[in-house]
Structure 1
Amino acid sequence: MSKKLVLIDGNSIIYRAFFALPLLNNDKGVYTNAVYGFTTMLLRILEEQKPTHLLVAFDAGKTTFRHSTYKEYKGGRQKTPSELSEQFPVMKELLDAFDIKHYQLEQFEADDIIGTLSKQGNQEDWEVTVISGDKDLLQLVSDRVTVHVTKKGISDIEKYSPDYMVEKMEITPEQIIDLKALMGDSSDNIPGVPGVGQKTATKLLKQYETLEEVYNHLEEVSGKKLKENLTNYREDAFMSKELVTINCNSPIEISVEDIVYYGFQPSKVSAVFKDLGFQSLLNRVSDETEEEQKPSSEMNEISFSIVSEINENMFIGDEALVVEMIGENYHLAAIEGFGVVNKNGAYFIPTEVALRSETFKLWAEDSSKTKSVFDAKKTMVALLRNDIHIKGITFDMLMSSYLLNPAENNHDIPAIGNRMGKSDVLFDEEVYGKGAKIKVPEESQLAEHVVRKTAALFELKDEMEEQLKQHELYELLKELEMPLALILGEMEHLGVKVDIGTLEEMGNDLKERLSKLEKEVYELAGESFNLNSPKQLGPILFEKLKLPVIKKTKTGYSTAADVLEQLQNEHEIIPKLLLYRQLGKLQSTYIEGLLKVVRKDTNKIHTRFNQALTQTGRLSSMEPNLQNIPIRLEEGRKIRQAFVPAQKDWIMFAADYSQIELRVLAHIANDEKLVAAFKNDVDIHTQTAMDVFHVEMDEVNSNMRRQAKAVNFGIVYGISDYGLSQNLGITRKEAKRFIERYFDSYPGVKLYMDEIVQEAKHKGYVTTLMNRRRYLPEITSRNFNLRSFAERTAMNTPIQGSAADIIKKAMIDLHQKLVDEKLQARMLLQVHDELILEAPKEEIDILKEIVPEMMENTVELNVPLKVDYEYGSSWFDAK
């Protein structure tokens, strides 16, 4: 068996992980973000590399043998943050749990340990992989040694072989030390030669190969200043070469034979993961061969009954209910059974027993019998499919967990239980398997799993409600998210009708247009080729047609959309290619995609609304995503023609908020001029153009208004001068001036932006008008990019989140109004700031009154909310 040696630069990877991830800590207050990032990378390395020998090398301390050569070596480095230094011992404990050896050596660096062991592995003809964030280690690359360098954070890796180095950097591995000697390295405080960057250093090495040869041919070097710097800083250059050279003969006390890796014991690793709070990683270390799942006998005993006949005495009120379905798409999944737990007992009710029981239906539909559920929307849909309209839901565990932990991506009962110290519930995939291996176990195992989940829901409800109250989120759950969940459940169950014939006709039209465009592209190219193949398209554009090369990838020329957009005016083939791609996506994603999910018996589409996904509180939709139908392209807008009322002589009615986020900004910032503009119903983009360009209203042209609009919406998202310059195609200097003028015109907005960032730094979170929280641990990060993103998020979340909350409340108010007025009209879809209803034609006049009334008066701001509406025979006609 061939030997596979993997050497990991511990300091480099953990450092990168720390700055790539927001600060996290477990329930004991121990910081864990760097360890978590390192561990995710480690698991990937173990899966992909399958090492036979493995070591993580660490630096031993600040002082090394290099300091005797240059005492300022690494002198400019900032002190390691305490939040990171605390995590090194934790990391080593985790490595011990994995049975992975780690090593450090006084006076030497991790690089030297890695260099020495990689040399040994190379000499033994082993395959060696080095993993680091430091390009200094590229000097170790050889035919048998590959160096993997992290690019962005820790997830994006670039693999360097000798050939790839020559292709990418135009130098050999041996020349890395000469390159660094010439250009220096500010991160390690290595001086190099002033004025020599990577480009100049590479050029010199391509010509003279080594540092020594550069100086042997100093007289031939062109450029007076360059020659002067090379002469004056010769000593620094040779000292720099000595500093960057890895010692591959360091006096380490281990050899490659001492770092054999036999794998890890899942139970040992799982225990550490649980202690650190790494719940999401637990499934990645389960060992199917060892049956790492706990058999029932090893878990806490749970007493329950499998019900064969439902007795009304089972239901006393204040029950926990779990409707068990396997898979995410509950519109398609079958009900596998019901879990019911109350203070008197725990029950598993098989599906057929529950659905044939009138007692079960009466209990489910009795609003006086209160029920706690895991996911109210899913529960509502599942039971409506069986003609049961559940009432009396007073607690939703999914929505509670989401409000308490909006950044978490797993809100399943076992994950919530683990976070709250209740870990005797297995994850679904541990019981059912995953992917192609999914299967329902025998009834006793299924029953125990469902009852355990239901019991966790019953036991944790009070604690979660208490946490919600402590964080002032209880009202948001009870008054907004839970009522909305039930409304969304009804909307999902109802679905929206699709005219199949219209969709198919659009598809045929698009196919004809695509075929015609394909021929036109072939004519302009002078040959046929695969338009969807970048490998074939690249040479056509950049070799045959001689268009300027914008970007290259590892596999050739980039033909990405942003590249083609930059070339639009270079050749008439480019606009046709861009249109071909847009129409192709419409055809495959939207026409064919929608046809696949239409229910054949009803011709309806039943999208799922994600209520517990975004951190701002906005709804999204999936399978299919009806919020993302592209409407900038006329052909995209026309897809809405296929969405029609479910009944004859009905209409589609669409109402949307006008500039809701800017109105929310005006309210929150309480800027005098912004508030006045909305109160006086002035076009806000025209007003901003007047203020930014210092012109009168009649002097504002369409381009000025377009630029003002970009500034207005950009400000809401904390846009930078660079971002605005890209949006408007202007210089950063001009963009900076626009933003400065905007803040001069609306000082209240600038004050709000500054104050909200300071508030976020103080509290660690920001809130919407309805008190929804978004936590921002990155707001105090030392990493500029992470901190900047958190600051922009702090500015935007109260605005975007409040707008999301407002439309949610409007849906609740409007739904109740439709019920109170005994109207047949019903809500079908929510698309960001827009609500789509269907109704009989005779109800149009009533809707024209009550829809704007409900939406505009759902909350009271210091500026008016404005709603526009349209109606027609399809969704397209209602816009």
Structure 2
Amino acid sequence: MTKKLVLIDGNSIAYRAFFALPLLNNDKGIHTNAIYGFTNILTKILEEENPTHLLVAFDAGKTTFRHNTYKEYKGGRQKTPPELSEQFPFIRELLDAYNISRYELENYEADDIIGTLAKKAEQDDFEVKIISGDKDLTQLATKNITVSITRKGITDVDDYTPDTIKEKYGLTPLQIIDMKGLMGDSSDNIPGVPGVGEKTAIKLLKQFGNVETLLQSIEEVSGKKLKEKLQENKDLAIMSKELATINCEAPVTISVDDLSYEGYDVKAVSKIYKELGFSSLLEKLGVEMEKSEEVKDIPFEIVREVSSDVLTSDAAFIVEMLEENYHLGKIIGFGIANEKGNFFIPAQVALESSDFKEWVQDERMRKVVYDGKKALVSLKWKGIDLKGIEFDVLISSYILNPSLSSDDLSLIASEHELKIVQSDEAIYGKGAKRHVPDEATLAEHIARKAYVVYRLQEKLDKELKENEQYDLFRDLELPLSKILAEMEVTGVRVDIDRLKRMGKELNEQLQLLEQKIHELAGESFNINSPKQLGVILFEKLKLPVIKKTKTGYSTSADVLEKLKDEHEMVELILHYRHLGKLQSTYIEGLLKVVHGDTGKVHTRFNQALTQTGRLSSTDPNLQNIPIRLEEGRKIREAFVPSEKDWVMFAADYSQIELRVLAHISGDENLIEAFRQDLDIHTKTAMDVFHVSEEDVTDHMRRQAKAVNFGIVYGISDYGLSQNLGITRKEAGEFIKRYFNSFKGVKEYMDEIIQEAKQKGYVTTLMQRRRYIPEITSRNFNVRSFAERTAMNTPIQGSAADIIKVAMIHMAEELKARHLKTRLLLQVHDELIFEAPKEEIETLKKLVPEVMEQALQLKVPLKVDYSYGPSWYEAK
């Protein structure tokens, strides 16, 4: 049996986990994000590596033997955040529960412990895997020692072997130490030789081999300035190399044999998971969270004959389905909880009971639900109109904490200390193993869900009022759920023949493109194979290599975009990919989801998913149909009215987010531009470039448009430079000039960031909150992203709220005026209707009027509309 030792850099992984995940607290107020992230990577290691021996090494303290050489070693590091420091004892406790050895050594770093044990294990014929977030450890790589460096958070890793180090740097692992000696390392405050960066260091090492040989041969170095730097900083280079060298002979008091790993004790691990509140990890262990004493045993009854005890007002009501797509699903049972008890009603019993149907459809029978839209739709397919929804636990929970955005009641219950219901996945399984369990298990699960919903109403209702979010729930989201349910059931008619013709046309275009690409390449190859495409582009055509992956050359979209001007084939490949995606995702994808009985697609609108409050859609996703190219736009031709002599009518807000920005920021320049109905991009170009309207060129307007929409998303100089193909310096100057012209916008951006830091969240005009704990992160990238989120959310969220208000008011107007027109879709800032031709004149006036009056801002809202025989012509 192969002996395998895994060595984990405990401090490094804990730091990575802490900064990769938002601050999390358990019910005792303990921060748990580092522990949670650490646990996830630990369980992944155990599953993937199957180690026979295992150790987690920690730093013992702030000072090490390296400080004797250089007092400023690691001197630039910020103090460990207290929110992380408090988690280290729990990480150590967790390792003990896992029966995993841990070790620290006074005066030495974790790297030295790992290096010493790795080399000893290699001598004893072990396969060794080192896991860290610190690339310094790559110097330890050999044929038998692989170093895995975490990236993009904590679960993705890059493996470093002598071959990959050679491929990446052109160096041996030991030369990594020399490279650090020359270029230094700012994270450890290793000085290196001033002015020598990575490229220069690698070049020198390829020529001279190591620091010592280089310093003996300075006269052979090309470049007067570089010679002088090396001559003046010889001692610094030697010292820096010494600091960067891992001590592989540290006085470690444990042997490799002491590190044997034989698995963990489920009881010990589940105990600490329970203490920390890791319910999802407990489920993976197959262990339930402990139930509170108050509700340890929940009595329930399986109803064989529906009675008045069950059908009361003010009851929690659960409609249970197995399938995620409830338009195609089958109801497997109902749950009801009220003051008289907790009940499970088998689907057949309920659906054959006239008393039950009457209760469901009685407006006076007030009901508390979980995901009322799903309940409304699933019952509507059975010909039953659910009425009397008074409260929705899913929607209220989403408003209170949009980051939770879970459709699993067990997680919401856990958040409110009602840890008494398992997840649906734990009961039904997942994927191909998903099934309906025996009746007793099913009955208890659904009755528990009903009980939890019944108990949660009061708690959530109180929190909504305390947060001043009750109006958002009562007047916006709850009525919207009923409108969305109606839209889902109505569906959108699809012209299948037209879709198939489009598919045929796309196939012909794809064949022609394939032929042209093969002609340019001078040979046939699989265009969809990144490996084969990489060989053609970078070896045969000799195009510049932009990026490499583990498997070869990167041919990702961003790489190809940068190569567009290098060869005409690249543009053809991008077009080929675009058409291929249209064919597979949208032509073939749409054909798969057309309902066999209705001839329509019945998309599901996700009301409780995005943190900004925007709606998204699934099965199919109608919000992501690409419309940048004509071929994508034409897919909308397949969406047609469901009635003869009807048309599609589309109305969308013009520049709604910029109008919201003008209102929120109070910037007089921006407000005046909208009040005068000026072209906002031309106006921005005039102000930024200091020119008159007639002197604004198309290029100026395009740049102004990019910065206008970029500002809404907190764009950086780098982001703008990428969008416009200009230098970062030019982009920075552009943004600076924009803020000089629109000072109110700059003040808003600064103020909203400060507000987010003070409160921990930002709000929309209608009091929708988004919590942003990362805004106080010590990690610059994490904090910067959080700041952009703080700037954007009130704008994008308010725009989302406005169109939701418009949907509610439109539904009310259509009903009040007895119009046949139906609201079918909401796509970003657009509403799509189908309507009889005779109602078009009414809609031309009514729809813009209702949408423009949805919310009173300091600037007018503006709506454009169009109509035609399909969605395409209506745009």
Q: Deviations over 1:811-830 (max 9, x none)?
A: 01110111111111111100
- Aligned partners of 2:680, 2:4: CA distance in 1, in Å? 64
8 Å Cα contact 1:401-1:411 kept in structure 2: no
Letter in 1 for 2:676: N
Do residues 358 (structure 1) and 354 (structure 2) align? yes
- TM-aligned CA deviation for residue 454 of structure 1: 0.8
Equivalent position of 1:34 in the other structure = 34
- TM-aligned CA deviation for residue 449 of structure 1: 0.7
- Aligned partners of 2:270, 2:650: CA distance in 1, in Å? 52
Equivalent position of 1:286 in the other structure = 286
Equivalent position of 1:231 in the other structure = 231
Farther off after superposition, 567-576 or 343-352: 567-576
- TM-aligned CA deviation for residue 409 of structure 1: 4.1
Do residues 731 (structure 1) and 727 (structure 2) align? yes
Equivalent position of 1:54 in the other structure = 54
- Aligned partners of 2:190, 2:704: CA distance in 1, in Å? 47
- Aligned partners of 1:32, 1:108: CA distance in 2, in Å? 27
8 Å Cα contact 1:871-1:878 kept in structure 2: yes
Equivalent position of 1:174 in the other structure = 174
- TM-aligned CA deviation for residue 860 of structure 1: 1.0
Farther off after superposition, 31-40 or 447-456: 31-40
Work out which of the residue numbers 560, 580, 585 in structure 2 matches 1:584: 580
SS in structure 2 of the partner of residue 158 of structure 1: strand
Equivalent position of 1:621 in the other structure = 617
SS in structure 2 of the partner of residue 468 of structure 1: helix
Q: Deviations over 1:114-138 (max 9, x none)?
A: 1121122111111111011112211
Work out which of the residue numbers 737, 740, 756 in structure 2 matches 1:741: 737
Equivalent position of 1:563 in the other structure = 559
- Aligned partners of 1:148, 1:304: CA distance in 2, in Å? 52
TM-score of the superposed pair, with normalisation by structure 1: 0.97
Equivalent position of 1:642 in the other structure = 638
8 Å Cα contact 1:617-1:804 kept in structure 2: yes
SS in structure 2 of the partner of residue 749 of structure 1: helix
- Aligned partners of 1:154, 1:261: CA distance in 2, in Å? 23
Distance 1:180 1:567, change over 3 A: closer
Letter in 1 for 2:802: I
- Aligned partners of 2:470, 2:180: CA distance in 1, in Å? 58
- Aligned partners of 1:193, 1:774: CA distance in 2, in Å? 46
- TM-aligned CA deviation for residue 406 of structure 1: 0.8
- Aligned partners of 1:92, 1:20: CA distance in 2, in Å? 20
SS in structure 2 of the partner of residue 810 of structure 1: helix
Residue identity (%) = 65
Equivalent position of 2:570 in the other structure = 574
Equivalent position of 2:861 in the other structure = 865
- Aligned partners of 1:94, 1:598: CA distance in 2, in Å? 50
Equivalent position of 2:116 in the other structure = 116
- TM-aligned CA deviation for residue 48 of structure 1: 1.0
- TM-aligned CA deviation for residue 411 of structure 1: 4.1
Letter in 1 for 2:116: T
Q: Deviations over 1:616-644 (max 9, x none)?
A: 00000111100011111111111111001
Equivalent position of 1:498 in the other structure = 494
8 Å Cα contact 2:289-2:419 kept in structure 1: no
8 Å Cα contact 2:67-2:73 kept in structure 1: yes
- Aligned partners of 2:697, 2:248: CA distance in 1, in Å? 68
Distance 1:103 1:594, change over 3 A: same
Q: 1:123-134 to 2 correspondence within 5 Å?
A: 123-134=123-134
Farther off after superposition, 236-245 or 346-355: 236-245
- TM-aligned CA deviation for residue 341 of structure 1: 0.7
Work out which of the residue numbers 376, 381, 384 in structure 1 matches 2:377: 381
Do residues 709 (structure 1) and 688 (structure 2) align? no
- Aligned partners of 1:229, 1:681: CA distance in 2, in Å? 61
- Aligned partners of 2:786, 2:76: CA distance in 1, in Å? 27
Letter in 2 for 1:73: Y
Number of equivalent positions: 875
Equivalent position of 2:764 in the other structure = 768
SS in structure 2 of the partner of residue 312 of structure 1: coil
- Aligned partners of 2:539, 2:67: CA distance in 1, in Å? 52
Work out which of the residue numbers 654, 657, 662 in structure 2 matches 1:658: 654
Q: 1:291-302 to 2 correspondence within 5 Å?
A: 300-302=296-298
Farther off after superposition, 637-646 or 85-94: 85-94
- TM-aligned CA deviation for residue 212 of structure 1: 2.6
User: Where do 5+ consecutive residues of structure 2 fail to align?
Assistant: none
TM-score of the superposed pair, with normalisation by structure 2: 0.97
- Aligned partners of 2:680, 2:608: CA distance in 1, in Å? 33
Do residues 841 (structure 1) and 841 (structure 2) align? no
Work out which of the residue numbers 464, 469, 473 in structure 1 matches 2:465: 469
Equivalent position of 2:629 in the other structure = 633
SS in structure 1 of the partner of residue 642 of structure 2: coil
Equivalent position of 2:447 in the other structure = 451
8 Å Cα contact 1:662-1:712 kept in structure 2: yes
Q: 1:418-567 to 2 correspondence within 5 Å?
A: 418-567=414-563
Q: CA RMSD in A?
A: 1.9
- Aligned partners of 1:97, 1:416: CA distance in 2, in Å? 28
Equivalent position of 1:43 in the other structure = 43
SS in structure 2 of the partner of residue 828 of structure 1: strand
- Aligned partners of 1:81, 1:805: CA distance in 2, in Å? 37
Equivalent position of 2:152 in the other structure = 152
Equivalent position of 2:325 in the other structure = 329
Q: 1:262-277 to 2 correspondence within 5 Å?
A: 262-277=262-277
SS in structure 1 of the partner of residue 2 of structure 2: coil
Do residues 781 (structure 1) and 777 (structure 2) align? yes
8 Å Cα contact 2:282-2:289 kept in structure 1: no
- TM-aligned CA deviation for residue 298 of structure 1: 14
- Aligned partners of 1:517, 1:699: CA distance in 2, in Å? 41
Do residues 348 (structure 1) and 352 (structure 2) align? no
SS in structure 1 of the partner of residue 417 of structure 2: coil
Equivalent position of 1:699 in the other structure = 695
8 Å Cα contact 2:98-2:264 kept in structure 1: yes
- Aligned partners of 2:270, 2:491: CA distance in 1, in Å? 43
Work out which of the residue numbers 785, 803, 819 in structure 1 matches 2:799: 803
Letter in 2 for 1:749: V
- Aligned partners of 1:524, 1:128: CA distance in 2, in Å? 47
Equivalent position of 2:809 in the other structure = 813
Distance 1:384 1:713, change over 3 A: same
Work out which of the residue numbers 756, 759, 762 in structure 1 matches 2:755: 759
8 Å Cα contact 2:292-2:418 kept in structure 1: no
8 Å Cα contact 2:498-2:638 kept in structure 1: yes
Distance 1:645 1:760, change over 3 A: same
SS in structure 1 of the partner of residue 174 of structure 2: helix
- Aligned partners of 2:226, 2:206: CA distance in 1, in Å? 16
Equivalent position of 1:16 in the other structure = 16
Do residues 675 (structure 1) and 671 (structure 2) align? yes
Farther off after superposition, 761-770 or 849-858: 849-858
Q: Deviations over 1:297-343 (max 9, x none)?
A: 99922222211121234222001011111132111221110001100
SS in structure 2 of the partner of residue 314 of structure 1: coil
- Aligned partners of 1:299, 1:96: CA distance in 2, in Å? 32
- Aligned partners of 1:30, 1:794: CA distance in 2, in Å? 25
Distance 1:184 1:568, change over 3 A: closer
Letter in 2 for 1:23: L
- Aligned partners of 2:73, 2:562: CA distance in 1, in Å? 44
Letter in 1 for 2:29: G
Distance 1:72 1:452, change over 3 A: same
- Aligned partners of 1:757, 1:679: CA distance in 2, in Å? 28
- Aligned partners of 1:297, 1:754: CA distance in 2, in Å? 49
Equivalent position of 1:84 in the other structure = 84
8 Å Cα contact 2:290-2:419 kept in structure 1: no
- TM-aligned CA deviation for residue 88 of structure 1: 1.2
- Aligned partners of 2:790, 2:243: CA distance in 1, in Å? 44
8 Å Cα contact 1:266-1:286 kept in structure 2: no
8 Å Cα contact 2:405-2:608 kept in structure 1: no
8 Å Cα contact 1:277-1:419 kept in structure 2: no
